Amino acid sequence: MFCFLNKSKNKISSEPVFSGSIEDFNLFFSGFCRNSVQKITRKYKLKVGSCEHCGISDIQLESAHILGKERKAIINKILSNYIQYDNVIKINLSKFEEEFVNAHKPIEQTIKILCKKCHTKYDSGITNSKKTQLKTINMNKKYFEYARLTFIKEDIELLSLDDRFTIYVKNDNETFSMTKKEFYETFSNVTKTKSYIRDGNYNYSRTPSKAYNFLVQN
């Protein structure tokens, strides 16, 4: 859903605001973000001047996002800070564009300049190994940061019952730590929600009192 905020009655603001799911945002604005990347990397391509893999220079060069910093990953990370109730995000699109550009800095740590052939090989290598790599990362990851208290099914299900995980809630500057077993016992209502079962995540608009049994010092 795409809308505008009214500055005053019967007057439409020039500042566009998106309200909807992360999936919808990617559906409607993936092209916009792709074009933004072209603008961001135009001067950098000229500066590099050749393919960073094979060294060829007399051919059209392309911009490739480094593994783990793909365009969609950057988009989702930005949007995760604007989640409201029922996994709905609301964000000023001018603000999003500013954060999207800044997320590519320093550009040499985000973008590789490659020829088309090397770009295809690079993306193919990412595609083939990404699932295995991400699974390994998730299995080892037990510390998470969210704007609100959020439980991600994929991360929790990879843990053993006695494994402890920690969640830092940025909006409240509070940290909670619990085992997977304690999560199932205390937040059994969360595991039964459609949001957790179907969408794979559940977030509280306001931290419930029972969570404070697991509050730890920051």
Averaged pLDDT in 10-residue chunks for the chain of 218 residues: 44 75 89 92 92 88 88 90 82 94 92 90 64 46 86 84 89 92 94 86 92 86
pLDDT of residue 197: 84
Task: Report yes or no on 138 lying in a domain.
Answer: no
Cα–Cα distance list, 77 to 47, 71, 212, 215 (Å): 28, 10, 26, 25
> Total structural domains in the chain?
2
Instruction: Provide the H-helix boundaries in 49-165.
Output: 71-79, 93-102, 116-140, 153-157
Same domain, 20 and 81: yes
Same domain, 153 and 188: yes
Task: Report yes or no on 137 lying in a domain.
Answer: no
pLDDT of residue 9: 46
3-state secondary structure at position 73: helix
pLDDT of residue 199: 80
Q: Which domain holds residue 88?
A: 2-130
The pTM of this model reads 0.54
Domain boundary among 130, 153, 185: 130
- If 0-12 CB within 10 Å is exposed, 13-18 middle and 19+ buried, where does residue 211 land? middle
Same domain, 23 and 68: yes
pLDDT of residue 127: 54
Same domain, 36 and 58: yes
Residue 61, token pair as written in the block: 């060069």
Task: Report yes or no on 98 lying in a domain.
Answer: yes
Asked whether 129 and 65 are in contact (CB, 8 A), the reply is no
139: phi > 0 → left, psi -120 to 50 → alpha, else beta; which? Answer: alpha
